[in-house]
Amino acid sequence: MKEDLGKLKDEAEKKIRQAKDEKELDGVRIEFLGRKQGRVTHILRNLKDLPPEDKPLIGGLVNKLKQFIQKEIKEKKKEIEKKEIEGYIDITLPGKKPLLGRLHPITQTIREIKSIFIGLGFRVVSGPEIETEYYNFEALNMPRYHPARDEQDSFYLDDNYLLRTQTSPVQIRVMQKESPPIRIIAPGRCYRRDAVDASHFPMFHQIEGLAVDKKITFSDLKGSLTYFVHQMFGRDTKLRFRPSFFPFTEPSAEVDISCIMCKGSGCRVCSGKGWLEILGAGMVDPEVFKKVGYDPEKYQGFAFGMGPDRICMLKYGIDDIRLFFQNDLRFLEQF
Region of 85-93, 178-186, 286-294, 298-306 interacting with ligand PHE (CB under 6 A): 298-306
Q: Is 115 exposed, middle or buried (0-12, 13-18, 19+ CB in 10 A)?
A: exposed
Q: How many residues bind ligand PHE (CB under 6 A)?
A: 11
**Does residue number 281 form part of the binding site for ligand PHE (CB under 6 A)?**
yes
CB 276, min distance to ligand PHE, A? 16
Report the distance separating Cα 230 and Cα 233, nearest Å. Answer: 5
- Closest to ligand PHE by CB, 25 or 312: 312
Q: Is 122 in the site for ligand PHE (CB under 6 A)?
A: no
Write out the DSSP string of 136-205. Answer: HTGGGT--TT-GGGSTTTS-BSSSSEEE-SSSTHHHHHHHHH--SSEEEEEEEEEE--PPPBTTB-SEEE
Ramachandran class of 142: left when φ > 0, alpha when ψ lies in -120 to 50, beta otherwise: beta
Per-residue x/- mask for ligand PHE, residues 174 to 213, rule CB under 6 A?
A: ----------------------------------x-----
β-pairing verdict for 130-132 and 161-163: antiparallel
Smallest distance from ligand PHE to CB 252, Å: 6
CA dihedral 183, 189, 192, 198 (to 10 degrees): 110
15-74 residues in contact with ligand PHE (CB under 6 A) are: none
Nearer Cβ to ligand PHE (76/310): 310
162 or 303, CB closer to ligand PHE? 303
Binding status of residue 169 toward ligand PHE by CB under 6 A? no
Q: Which of residues 220-249 bind ligand PHE (CB under 6 A)?
A: 246, 249
Question: Per CB under 6 A, which region of 13-21, 29-37, 43-51, 302-310 contacts ligand PHE?
Answer: 302-310
**Sequence-ordered list of residues with C-beta below 8 angstroms from that of 184, at least 6 positions apart, any chain:** 122, 123, 124, 125, 170, 174, 208, 209, 210
Q: Give the SS3 label for residue 52.
A: coil
Quick one: which of 304, 308, 312, 314 contacts ligand PHE (CB under 6 A)? 304
| Separation between Cα atoms, residue 315 and residue 311, nearest integer Å | 6
Among 109, 136, 154, 166, binds ligand PHE (CB under 6 A): 166
By beta-carbon proximity to ligand PHE, the closer residue of 249 and 300 is: 249
Beta carbon nearer to ligand PHE, 9 or 310: 310
CB burial of 204-238 (b: ≥16 within 10 Å; e: otherwise) equals bbbbbbbbbeeebeeebbbebbeebbebbbeeebe
Q: Please select the residue that binds ligand PHE; options are 141, 154, 168, 237, rule is CB under 6 A.
A: 168
Per DSSP, 294 falls in state: -
Contacts with ligand PHE, residue ranges (CB under 6 A): 166, 168, 208, 246, 249, 280-282, 303-305
